[in-house]
């Protein structure tokens, strides 16, 4: 049996503190939480093993099924936010007057606290708020729309806020990817007579594939785990139309004290995230530079 080399032992030695913290605050809670999802866990009585009962209960619950469907609907924002992020990154990668201000303007929502975002957009989405006022002024609507009170549009309003909050973050990531592309490749393509559109598809996009993979996975997982915007804007309403799978887990665990049921919902969300991350690795294959 081959023994670890001295350099390998040194590497494990320096990694040990981080690995201990990872195991203590990430791996152990995840593993223990998954175990508790198979019990009737309660803080006031000993828990017993119940097998798949919690999972049967949540899938028999219309609210969780609705939340899971809404989580899948949230995936609609993934291509939108990626395309918009790339477009903005390409725009701000060029030199023009006010470029820095433009970058800051799109990044401000990323660092704005969720509470402030909730207050601002609740005012904007109010039936007598700014959005309805503007739409009525330009005669696009005849009567106010209940963006957060109408169960047919509330989820899409929340999705819009999610896009607004995240687009600046992905713009910065794509901007970093664009600036890492060697300028010599673009210059050589120009000399060969390639136009801007050809350079974008033949050079920029292939070289951005590693960044596209990372951003796609991040935005997919964020969409499937949507919670913050729902909590600050609608709390799952109206008529449970904006419940997501993760918000259901929060609702069961912290509002109804059904911890095991909430953990079971969290495990389901985690498994769905793993599947979609694996699909991203399967279909987006960056070529090594």
pLDDT at 289: 46
- pTM of this structure: 0.88
In whole angstroms, give the CA distance from residue 38 to residue 41. 9
The secondary structure of residue 76, as a DSSP letter, is G
With beta carbons less than 8 A apart as the criterion, state whether 209 and 286 touch. Answer: yes
In whole angstroms, give the CA distance from residue 179 to residue 175. 6
pLDDT at 100: 84
pLDDT at 13: 87
Peptide bond into 238 cis (omega under 30): yes
**Domains along the chain with CATH numbers:** 53-283 (1.10.3720.10)
pLDDT at 137: 92
pLDDT at 99: 81
The secondary structure of residue 39, as a DSSP letter, is B
In whole angstroms, give the CA distance from residue 178 to residue 210. 11
pLDDT at 284: 82
pLDDT at 2: 58
| Residue indicated by tokens 């109010």 | 126
* Whole-Å CA distances, 271 to 35, 219, 268: 14, 16, 5
Nearest to 43 by CA among 251, 249, 253: 253
Spell out, as residue ranges, where the chain has pLDDT lower than 70: 1-4, 286-289
User: Per DSSP, what are the bridge partners of residue 52?
Assistant: none
In whole angstroms, give the CA distance from residue 248 to residue 239. 13
């Amino acid at each position: 049996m081959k023994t670890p080399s001295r350099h390998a032992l040194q590497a494990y030695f320096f990694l040990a503190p981080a690995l201990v913290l990872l195991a203590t605050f990430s791996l152990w809670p995840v593993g223990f939480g998954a175990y508790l999802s198979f019990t009737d866990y309660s803080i006031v009585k000993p828990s017993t093993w119940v097998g798949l009962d919690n999972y049967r209960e949540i899938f028999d619950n219309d609210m969780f099924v609705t939340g899971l469907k809404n989580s899948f609907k949230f995936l609609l924002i993934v291509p939108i936010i990626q395309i918009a992020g790339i477009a903005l990154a390409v725009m701000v990668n060029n030199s023009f007057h006010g470029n820095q201000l433009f970058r800051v303007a799109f990044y401000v929502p990323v660092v704005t606290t969720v509470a402030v975002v909730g207050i601002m957009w609740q005012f904007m989405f109010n039936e007598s708020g700014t959005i309805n006022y503007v739409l009525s002024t330009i005669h696009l609507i005849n009567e106010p729309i209940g963006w957060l009170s109408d169960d047919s549009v509330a989820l899409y309003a929340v999705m819009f806020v999610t896009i607004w909050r995240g687009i600046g973050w992905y713009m910065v990531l794509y901007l970093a990817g664009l600036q890492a592309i060697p300028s010599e490749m673009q210059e050589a393509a120009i000399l060969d007579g390639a136009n801007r559109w050809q350079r974008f598809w033949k050079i920029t996009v292939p070289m951005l594939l590693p960044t596209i993979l990372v951003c796609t996975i991040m935005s997919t997982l964020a969409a499937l785990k949507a919670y913050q915007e729902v909590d600050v804007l609608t709390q799952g309403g109206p008529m449970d139309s904006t419940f997501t799978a993760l918000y259901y887990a929060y609702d069961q665990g912290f509002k109804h004290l059904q911890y095991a049921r909430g953990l079971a919902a969290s495990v389901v969300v985690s498994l769905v995230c793993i599947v979609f991350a694996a699909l991203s690795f399967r279909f987006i294959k960056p070529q090594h530079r």
